[in-house]
């Protein structure tokens, strides 16, 4: 018998936005893509609006149908994770679009200045890749780093879920995904014949009042600008 602890959990739920609203999202992100184009030195990298300074979708009127749904889903995620405090405030700090064609990918990365990451799937044509996750510190490693070596097929079955270092989840249009931002994540190449379009967002936690927490920032009212 195996007893399993310390899971990594990903939230995935439908938002319920209609096709017309998602088409509006897609059109705006497509316009942003057209205005900047692909990076010439990395033609197979998915276009990411944030890399071009386009980080404010959450402030645009057209995206408010999605923004208005975020509190409900964030509350659901936090409740299921066991957070019972009502003293937290969650802010979306930035959000951007992604626009990928066949064979495009997003290299595994983490968002070090964010608490929770959010992804919303606007358009996923047939053949679109799923979001993938990667761990560098597997709880079941008998020797630290063993599962990352190129010996996996020799000493450990790479298909065994209890020692997997990579995992992907199937996503569909109108899905909202929430997960801790420190987790490595990316998108593998797809085979779609039309753009794969999504919206990503970063968040920040603040306490509503000044507390003794060293992990969560105090409210903005406690901040003072000392820039030069």
**For residue 56, what are the β-bridge partners?**
95
Q: What is the reported pLDDT for 80?
A: 95
Least confident of 21-35, 91-105, 151-165, 205-219: 151-165
Q: What is the pTM of this model?
A: 0.93
Nearest to 200 by CA among 17, 20, 35, 46: 46
Task: Indicate the SS3 state at residue 203.
Answer: strand
Average pLDDT over every residue of 109-118? 96
User: pLDDT band for position 205 (50/70/90)?
Assistant: very high
The pLDDT score that the predictor gives to residue 165 is 85
The DSSP H or E segment spanning 32 is helix 19-36
Average pLDDT for the chain? 92
CA 180, CA 56: separation in Å to the nearest integer?
Answer: 21
Bridge-based pairing of strands 106-109 and 196-207 is: unpaired
Q: Is 80 exceeded by the pLDDT of residue 38? A: no
Q: What number is the average pLDDT over the span 45-50? A: 94
Mean pLDDT within 6-35: 96
Residue 85: both structure tokens together: 């405090």
Nearest residue to 181 (alpha-carbon basis) of 119, 104, 138: 119
Among 1-5, 11-15, 41-45, 216-220, the minimum mean pLDDT is found in 41-45
CA dist., res. 19 & res. 154, Å (int): 48
Q: State the pLDDT at residue 142.
A: 84
Q: Is the pLDDT of residue 15 over 70?
A: yes
Cα distance between residue 60 and residue 46, in whole Å? 23
| pLDDT reported for residue 43 | 76
pLDDT at 131 over 80: yes
Mean pLDDT of 140-147: 82
Q: What is the pLDDT of residue 160?
A: 83
Helix, strand or coil for residue 192?
A: coil
Residue linked to tokens 């009212």: 221
Tokens 């897609």 belong to residue: 26
Neighbours of 167 (CB within 10 A): 14
Contacts of residue 114, Cβ cutoff 8 Å, sequence gap at least 6: 93, 181, 202, 203, 204
Please give the Cα distance from 207 to 211 (Å, whole number): 7
Where are the chain's structural domains?
A: 14-130+172-209, 137-169
User: What pLDDT does residue 220 have?
Assistant: 94
pLDDT digit string (tens) for 146-175?
Answer: 777 766 667 777 778 888 888 999 999 999
d(CA 176, CA 227): 37
**Residue with token string 């009042």:** 209
**Residue 152 pLDDT:** 61
Class of domain 14-130+172-209: mainly beta
* pLDDT at position 184: 96
């Amino acid at each position: 018998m195996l007893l399993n602890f310390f899971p990594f959990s990903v939230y995935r739920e439908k938002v319920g936005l209609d096709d017309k609203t998602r088409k509006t999202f897609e059109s705006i992100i497509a316009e942003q893509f057209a205005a900047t184009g692909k990076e010439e030195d990395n033609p197979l990298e998915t276009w990411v609006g944030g890399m071009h300074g386009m980080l404010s979708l959450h402030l645009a009127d057209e995206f408010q149908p999605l923004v208005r749904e975020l509190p409900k889903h964030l509350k659901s995620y936090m409740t299921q994770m066991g957070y019972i405090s009502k003293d937290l405030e969650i802010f979306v700090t930035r959000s951007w679009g992604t626009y990928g064609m066949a064979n495009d990918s997003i290299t595994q990365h983490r968002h070090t200045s964010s608490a929770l990451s959010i992804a919303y799937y606007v358009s996923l044509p047939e053949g679109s890749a799923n979001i993938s996750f990667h761990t560098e510190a597997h709880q079941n490693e008998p020797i630290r780093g063993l599962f990352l070596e190129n010996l996996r097929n020799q000493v450990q079955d790479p298909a065994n879920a209890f020692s997997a270092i990579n995992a992907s989840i199937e996503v569909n249009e109108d899905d909202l995904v929430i997960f801790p931002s420190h987790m490595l994540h990316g998108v593998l190449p797809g085979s779609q014949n039309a753009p794969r379009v999504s919206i990503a967002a970063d968040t920040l936690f603040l306490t509503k009042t000044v507390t003794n927490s060293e992990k969560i920032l105090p409210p903005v009212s406690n901040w003072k600008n000392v820039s030069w």
